Amino acid sequence: MEPRETFRTEFVDFALKQGVLRFGEFKTKAGRLSPYFFNAGLFNTGMALARLGEFYANAILASAVSFDVIFGPAYKGIPLVATTAVALARSGRNVPFCFNRKEAKDHGEGGVIVGAPLAGKVLILDDVISAGTSVRESVELIRAAKAEPAGVLIALDRMERGAGETSAVQEVQALYGLPVFSIATLEDILAYLSRQGGMAHELHSVREYRTRYGVFTDGSRSPPAIREFSTRPDPMSAPDGS
């Protein structure tokens, strides 16, 4: 496991090398032209998935969230929750995990939940939060089982406004009162780019996009007048939403 102060930057580097994080010009669902693209579905080899689980485990261990079970919403959350449970066990914390079926099974054990029972405090694992649909469905399943949603962990917080003035992560936090935290954020991507040689164009493009569409940690729509990125990787912050 990486020390707390390094895994965020190492995750950005890993995502870039795996082709999960790309720079260029990409059209988002909202119709915006984004200078970067993140597709967690491209963590599609055994090695990549195992490494991804370690990053999720590091983010969990670095957080202050209290939980009893980890839950992965179908379908993307299924491999995430399984590989994270393995990584946590290797780090000395053996936790139960489960996921849901999209359709209830009417034979055998039946039901929609596979794996450990939804009980106690349940931490939801997903790749990103866009519309918040996956989180809403997960919260409904957890509460229906008389369990308690403990928080949401995602791979990347884009820190980007939706149709309104807040990000999808902020909307989830406000709607459900849950801590939402991430392995990395757009600020970590900017910090990474600022330390790389030969990526000045990418850095400028992402900064411009952030200024135009971003939300910031102080809740404003505008960046601070002077924004410098440390030469040290950012430490894992307290749950702030994704």
Alpha-carbon torsion angle 143, 146, 148, 152, nearest 10:
-40
Active-site residue, from 29, 102, 107, 146: 107
One of 17, 27, 76, 105 is an active-site residue; which one?
A: 105
Neighbours of 25 (CB within 10 A): 10
Please state the three-class secondary structure of the chain as a single string: CCCCCCHHHHHHHHHHHCCCEEEEEEECCCCCEEEEEECHHHCCCHHHHHHHHHHHHHHHHHCCCCCCEEEECCCCHHHHHHHHHHHHHHCCCCCCEEEEEEEEECCCCCEEEEECCCCCEEEEECCCCCCCHHHHHHHHHHHHCCCEEEEEEEEEECCEECCCCCEHHHHHHHHHCCCEEEEEEHHHHHHHHHCCCCCHHHHHHHHHHHHHHECCCCCCCCCCCCCCCCCCCCCCCCCCCC
8-state DSSP, 18: T
Has 29 been annotated as catalytic? no
Active site residue 204: no
**Positions marked active-site:** 105, 107
